[in-house]
Amino acid sequence: MPSSNTFLSFYSLVSSRLQKKNMKILVCISKTPDTTAKIAFTDNNTKFAEAGVQFIINPYDEWYALVRAIQLKEADPSTVLHLINIGPADADPIIRKALALGGDEAIRVNTTSTDDYYIASQIAAIAKENQYDLIFTGKETIDYNGSSIGGMVAELLEMPFISLATQFSLNQNMATVNREIEGGEEVDEVSLPLVVSCQKGMAEQRIPNMRGIMAARTKPLNVREPIEAATLTEIVSFEMPPAKSGVKMIPADQPEELVRLLHEEAKVI
């Protein structure tokens, strides 16, 4: 949409004069199976079957959280932008891909735990150490669908949290954030430091270019060992939903039959 792009670049110009200098931003990046991946389980339904599956940066983290953070850095190059992933070494390719879009360096905390509280504790520990002004997460991971990490990190750091943000702007230390609420939207004002979970509206998807890909190769990817933290939950097994019994086709000239079936058979109207 050209109109919104024009608006964004205009906006970036304005915000460069309003943004705080030397701001530090952290973007949380998770690794998820591609949206079209076949979902199946192994080891007696306790593990996701990874064979043949392509992994990507969780779409909300890439398109919205990361791109919006990159725009803030573009608006003021004194901004420091770090990416973080909590996970084993097989996340490195997607971290490099994220760095190819933008960001100065990445941190990976080396662990295989999938408990939200444990993951949030790792992010919070790094955040405490580096004193970020702003932490962006995606709305949710498309595999676990927790929508939890952002709120947990905020609470661990005793920061305000804006969930499901659709727009974000800065005036020095003050952020103006639009967030989705039931049947509408709310505009909030809140001062940094702050945690924001990002969704559609925050930014537009970008494709990494060759220069970015080359630059990403030499950007630091610091691997850290996890801190002690509790795990409060554990996935004991996975299940597939029961298969649909098959579609019942109704001739286009018999809409009454559809309505009858919905009323008498499916009992939904």
Partner 1 sequence: MSILIFLDQSEGHIKKSSFEAAAYGSAIAEKMNTSAEGIVFGKTNDELKSLGKYGLKKVHTLEDDRLNNFDDDVFTHLIAEAATSLNATVIIFSNNFNGKAIAPRLSVRLKAGLVTGAVSLPDLSEGFVVKKNVFSGKAFANVSIKSAIKVISLNANAFKPVEKEGDAEVVPISLEIPGSRVKVVKVDKVSGEIPLAEAEIVVSGGRGLKGPENWGIVTDLAKELGAATACSRPVSDSDWRPHHEHVGQTGLAIAPNLYIAIGISGAIQHLAGVNRSKTIVVINKDPEAPFFKAADYGIVGDAFEVVPKITEAVKKMKS
Ligand X SMILES: Cc1cc2nc3c(=O)[nH]c(=O)nc-3n(C[C@H](O)[C@H](O)[C@H](O)COP(=O)(O)OP(=O)(O)OC[C@H]3O[C@@H](n4cnc5c(N)ncnc54)[C@H](O)[C@@H]3O)c2cc1C
Closest separation between CB of residue 191 and ligand AMP, Å?
22
Choosing among partner 1, ligand X, ligand AMP, none, which partner's interface includes residue 120 (Cβ < 5 to 8 Å by kind)? partner 1
- The partner residues of 32 in beta bridges, in order of sequence, read 56
Q: Which of 191, 202, 223, 184 minimizes the C-alpha distance to 95?
A: 223
Map the footprint of partner 1 across residues 201-230, applying CB under 8 A.
Answer: 201, 230
Burial zone of 210 (CB within 10 Å; 0-12 exposed, 13-18 middle, 19+ buried)? exposed
**What backbone phi and psi angles, to 5 degrees, belong to 256?**
-65, -35
Alpha-carbon distance 180 to 166, whole Å? 7
Considering only 105-113, 125-133, 138-146, 217-225, which stretch makes contact with partner 1 by CB under 8 A? Answer: 138-146
Nearest distance from residue 65's CB to ligand AMP, in Å? Answer: 6
Residues in 17-46 that interact with ligand X by CB under 6 A: 35
Closest CA to 103 of 127, 64, 72: 72
What is the nearest approach in angstroms of partner 1 to the Cβ of residue 104?
Answer: 27
**13/235 with CB nearer partner 1:** 235
Return the number of the residue (176 or 254) whose C-beta is nearest ligand X: 254
Distance of CA 80 to the CA centre of its chain: 19
> Does residue 59 belong to the site contacting ligand X (CB under 6 A)?
yes
| 143 is an interface residue for partner 1 by CB under 8 A | yes
CA–CA dist 196, 51 (Å, integer) = 34
Binding residues for ligand X restricted to 74-133, rule: CB under 6 A: none
Cis peptide before 251 (omega within 30 of 0): no
Residues that bind ligand AMP (CB under 6 A): 28-30, 58, 60-61, 65, 84-87, 116, 119, 137-138, 140-141, 144-150
Site residues for ligand X per CB under 6 A: 35, 59
